[in-house]
Chains A and B, each alone.
Chain A
Amino acid sequence: NAGVTQTPKFQVLKTGQSMTLQCAQDMNHNSMYWYRQDPGMGLRLIYYSASEGTTDKGEVPNGYNVSRLNKREFSLRLESAAPSQTSVYFCASGLATYNEQFFGPGTRLTVL
């Protein structure tokens, strides 16, 4: 089992460009999450999906959109990237909301 996979691993964007970060899990988990991690600030929740067909805002949702494509896949979209969105993005999944989360390897995004 691959666990949680994320693509791409690295990305450089120019201000105003758009992109989608992809996440997939093969553990048959119901809940999926997107976090960003910045130096000195820990992990901050952007959006989560408690189950297929639902999405909810987390602590820092502005500038992002998400799609729960099916039970396995949860994507994060930046419509118009800004330098403040330079960060490491982690996708995670869990059997249910508030349960243990399993994290993907992360995407390191730089916005110039």
Chain B
Amino acid sequence: QKEVEQNSGPLSVPEGAIASLNCTYSDRGSQSFFWYRQYSGKSPELIMFIYSNGDKEDGRFTAQLNKASQYVSLLIRDSQPSDSATYLCAVRNDMRFGAGTRLTVKP
């Protein structure tokens, strides 16, 4: 059974801090990953895509991939209350999602 694991949270950080969200996966054949953001009552929207080991930066977001250790993470710098949402990790090649981590950024 292929698994994608995320800590469900809630993860609470103060405004301006760095939020760190983690995702582990069981299938060593997984090559690339998506991070989606889902606001309460809304549909998921893509925020990052990563396929190479190392870091990928896009504005305040940095995705990190470590294939040897089978984890992918998302860092949000200078967190804002508007970042409060559930963040879903997804394995690209089998369209499998983690359960998501709920992030709350407190003003």
Contacts and interface: CB of A to CB of B under 8 A. Distances in A.
Interface string A40-59: 11111100100000000011
14 contacts: A33-B95, A42-B6, A42-B97, A42-B98, A42-B99, A42-B100, A43-B90, A44-B97, A45-B95, A58-B95, A100-B49, A101-B95, A103-B43, A104-B43
Interface band, chain B = 20 to 34
Interface of B: 4, 6, 8, 34, 42-46, 49, 88, 90, 92-93, 95-100
B42 to A, nearest CB: 8
Nearest to B6: A42
Interface string A80-105: 00000000001000000010111111
A35 B90 CA distance: 13
A41 B35 CA distance: 16
A48 B45 CA distance: 18
Interface of A: 33, 35, 40-45, 48, 58-59, 90, 98, 100-106
A90 B43 contact: yes
Contacts of A106: 43
A48 B95 contact: yes
Contacts of A35: 97
Contacts of B49: 100
B97 A43 contact: yes
Contact of A45 (B42, B44, B96): B96
Contacts of A101: 46, 95
Contact of A43 (B8, B88, B93): B88
Contact of B92 (A48, A58, A59, A98): A98
Contact of B44 (A44, A48, A103): A103
Contacts of B98: 42
A98 B43 contact: no
B33 to A, nearest CB: 11
B49 to A, nearest CB: 7
The 9 closest A-B pairs by CB, nearest first: A103-B43, A42-B99, A43-B97, A42-B97, A100-B46, A45-B95, A98-B92, A103-B44, A42-B100
